[in-house]
Amino acid sequence: MRTYGQYCALAKALDVVGDRWTLLIVRELGLRGPCRYTDLRHGLPGIATNLLADRLREMEENGIVRREEAPPPVATTLFHLTERGVELAPVLLALGHWGAEYMGERREGDEFRSHWLRYPIEHLFTDAAPDGPAVEIELRTGDQPILVEVGGGAVRARPGVAEKPDLVLSGEPEVVLGLLRERFDLRAARRRGLRTEGDVAVLDRLHNLG
């Protein structure tokens, strides 16, 4: 293991999680739960197969990840976060919040996976009317739909669809996220290709925490 060789808690932490891809592997396992190797490859576009294997081995050695052999009919290896790995969640949230300012226009070649929206949606928004009826907003962007459920003071997001969503937003991820984060208004979003079905007034239920 490469080391900074410093007697400092931050340096010691970076010795363990500072290598490229390590925190993104934690992101995938935190968002999706136990994953097969192929699931991780899908959620980490651009990573080489041998590098992913190396990172997983290092993370096991450092007590961040554990592997489990799933019984039939799955009959494959599943990778889990350990308790130590789960403790990195606040670190990822803080980095994501800090990095949100860089989420402007998507550069050509930037990959996107819909499930990545879960962290910003659940942690950058709150329910603006917790006493109101629950609403469902379906986001159709990226590789699969994401269902945003708002109600009782909470905002939750997960892959899936609703039988009768209150609102459907369809478009490129930077447009959908830009609208939700109030970087531009609905008219500007539509000029950028956003399509809507349903009651756009339910967007008022999402209070942007910044």
90-120: pLDDT as tens digits: 999 999 989 888 887 888 889 999 999 999 8
CA dihedral 110, 39, 3, 8 (to 10 degrees): 90
Residue-range definition of the domain harbouring residue 134:
114-208
Q: How far apart are CA 190 and CA 23, in angstroms?
A: 35
Asked if residue 94 and residue 121 are part of one domain, the reply reads no
pLDDT of residue 1: 67
What CATH code is carried by the domain that includes residue 22?
A: 1.10.10.10
- Distance CA(85)–CA(23), nearest Å, equals 10
Q: What is the pLDDT of residues 116-136, one digit of tens each?
A: 999 989 988 999 999 999 999
Report yes or no on 126 lying in a domain: yes
Residue 45 CA: distances (Å) to CA of 79, 108, 122, 209: 18, 14, 23, 29
Classify the C-alpha dihedral 179-29-58-9 as positive or negative.
Answer: positive
CA of residue 178 relative to chain centroid, distance: 16
Residue 60 tokens read as 């096991």
Task: Determine contact, residues 77/70, Cβ cutoff 8 Å.
Answer: yes
Co-location of 36 and 92 in the same domain: yes
Q: What is the pLDDT of residue 176?
A: 95
The answer on 164 and 86 residing in a single domain is: no
Q: Are residues 28 and 96 in the same domain?
A: yes
Out of 42, 72, 102, pick the residue that ends a domain.
Answer: 102
Domains: count for the chain: 2
This prediction's pTM: 0.91
- Written as six digits, the tokens of 22 are 């390590």
Calpha distance 29→85 (Å, rounded): 9
> What confidence score (pLDDT) does residue 155 get?
96
